[in-house]
């Protein structure tokens, strides 16, 4: 099982000091958090995609490629890649390149997004959100698995003889999770392709996402990918940890009370007791996380948000120390001791390459040769104006 953290990349004032970090400060802080996640022994670091203030992560591939150069072991992921408003050709090419740079330590979570205006900004209609997510992933799936693609749909111009470059590392594309908080169509899509399903599992009562997870598991089996317990499930969460429970509540309360994502008609204690928000000592976070397994069954990935709502960098780094030293090692033991022998392991690039090719050579790409679709390949150089075709522009 994999444990890690993910960030929504918000730039928020610290309610205890009034200080709002600059974009530069927040971005550099996030780099330190990602590197720290590897240092304390976590398995995954993820970051979201946003195109509006107060968030900075408009280009997760750029950020993750930079972190890949600073780390050696940790899996890097998006907490969401906007499958509805991002051209699947761009997703295929940018994430394949990032996968190469990370040595295979890269996967992505596709989602529809929760910012209404972003659809219009990128020329799409929010009323077509589910249809866009389904069609765009269908194309992305093919671009990563077919060297030459002919395609026609409603979301983008058609493709004829198109090769996405670079090809996926070792012939195995980045692993894809489909994230959803409300759409059974997305759970169905994840099941159809045999991909992972990620339930955000925050800001809602305990067990709220169980119907979506159960639907995904049953349809995963229906499509012939394995048994329901072999389906690949990820869960989100949020945690604030201190050595003593009362210190955790006291320190987190001002951040909770200013965070706009919560219904403040209910106190922090209510959320900590009845939702997946884990606040308290390391043992309390362990106990609450173990209830996730009781509710959802064996699953493969657990990620927490630990840096939102204006929390200063030193507080985040201190929590990561506690998470890595006192929480995750116990969760590894306890989850392993209870794990069904039939549950699937967490996906990794190395394991997926081995499952596909065994000890043999990996697949080599076979794209079309250059067909004259760029200036250098259009025609041999002619040192004569009379030899230039009429439709070739004269370059000043």
- Parse the chain into domains and list their residue ranges: 2-387
Taking only the tens place, the pLDDT of each residue in 213-261 is: 999 999 999 999 999 999 999 999 999 999 999 999 999 999 999 998 8
Taking only the tens place, the pLDDT of each residue in 56-67 is: 999 999 999 999
For the residues 79-100, what does the mean pLDDT come to? 95
Distance CA 349, CA 353 (A): 6
For residue 370, the model assigns a pLDDT of 57
φ and ψ at residue 332, rounded to 5 degrees: -60, -45
Under 8 Å CB-to-CB from 111, ≥6 apart: which residues?
80, 81, 82, 83, 133, 178, 179, 180, 186
Residue 391 has pLDDT above 60, yes or no: no
133 touches 95 (CB < 8 A): no
46 touches 85 (CB < 8 A): no
64 vs 396, higher pLDDT: 64
Domain 2-387 has CATH 1.10.357.10: no
The neighbouring-strand residues paired with 3 are: 302
Residue 185 to residues 78, 129, 193, 286: CA-CA distances in angstroms? Answer: 21, 11, 13, 32
Distance CA 368, CA 390 (A): 27
For residue 368, the model assigns a pLDDT of 66
233 touches 199 (CB < 8 A): yes
Taking only the tens place, the pLDDT of each residue in 323-370 is: 999 999 999 999 999 999 999 999 999 999 999 999 888 877 777 665
Kindly tell me the sign of the dihedral angle through the C-alpha atoms of 330, 282, 73, 173: positive
CA 304, 231, 218 angle in degrees (round to 5)?
120
Element (H, E) at 325: none
- Residue 167 corresponds to which tokens in the numbers above? 């090809």
DSSP one-letter code for 167: P
12 touches 30 (CB < 8 A): no
State if pTM tops 0.85: yes
Q: Kindly calculate the radius of gyration of the chain based on its CA atoms and give it in whole angstroms.
A: 23
Taking only the tens place, the pLDDT of each residue in 266-311 is: 999 999 999 999 999 999 999 999 999 999 999 999 999 999 999 9
Residue 1: which of 346, 285, 304 has the closest Cα? 346
- Exposure string of 123-156, with b = 16+ CB inside 10 Å and e = fewer, is ebebeebbebbbbbbbbbbbbbeebebebeeebb
């Amino acid at each position: 099982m994999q444990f890690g953290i993910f960030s929504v990349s918000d730039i928020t004032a610290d309610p205890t000091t009034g200080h709002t970090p600059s974009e530069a400060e927040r971005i550099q802080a996030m780099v330190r958090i990602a590197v720290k996640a590897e240092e304390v022994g976590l398995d995954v670091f993820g970051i979201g995609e946003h195109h509006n203030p107060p968030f900075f992560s408009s280009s997760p591939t750029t950020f993750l490629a930079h972190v890949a150069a600073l780390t050696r072991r940790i899996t890097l992921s998006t907490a969401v890649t906007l499958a509805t408003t991002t051209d699947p050709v761009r997703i295929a090419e940018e994430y394949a390149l990032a996968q190469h740079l990370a040595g295979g330590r890269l996967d992505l979570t596709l989602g529809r997004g929760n910012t209404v205006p972003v659809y219009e900004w990128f020329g799409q209609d929010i009323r077509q959100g589910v249809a866009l997510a389904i069609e765009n992933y269908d194309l992305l799936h093919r671009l990563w698995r077919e060297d030459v693609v002919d395609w026609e749909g409603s979301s983008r111009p058609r493709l004829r003889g198109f090769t996405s470059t670079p090809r996926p590392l070792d012939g195995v594309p980045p692993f894809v999770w489909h994230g959803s908080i409300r759409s059974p169509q997305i759970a169905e899509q994840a099941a159809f392709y045999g991909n992972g399903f990620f339930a955000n599992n925050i800001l809602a009562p305990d067990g709220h996402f169980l119907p979506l997870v159960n639907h995904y598991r049953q349809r995963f089996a229906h499509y012939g990918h394995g048994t329901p317990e072999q389906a690949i499930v990820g869960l989100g969460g949020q945690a604030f940890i201190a050595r003593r429970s009362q210190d955790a509540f006291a320190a987190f309360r001002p951040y909770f009370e200013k965070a706009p994502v919560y219904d403040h008609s209910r106190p922090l204690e209510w959320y900590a007791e009845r939702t997946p928000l884990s606040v308290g000592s390391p043992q309390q976070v362990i106990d609450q996380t173990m209830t996730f397994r009781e509710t959802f069954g064996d699953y493969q990935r657990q990620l927490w948000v630990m840096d939102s709502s204006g929390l200063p960098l030193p507080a985040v780094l201190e929590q990561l120390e506690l998470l890595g030293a006192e929480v995750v090692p116990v969760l590894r033991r306890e989850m392993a001791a209870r794990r069904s022998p039939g549950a699937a392991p967490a996906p990794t690039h190395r394991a997926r390459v081995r499952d596909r090719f065994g000890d043999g050579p990996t697949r080599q790409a076979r794209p079309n040769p250059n067909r004259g679709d760029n200036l250098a390949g259009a025609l041999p150089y002619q040192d004569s104006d009379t030899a230039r075709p009429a439709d070739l522009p004269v370059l000043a």
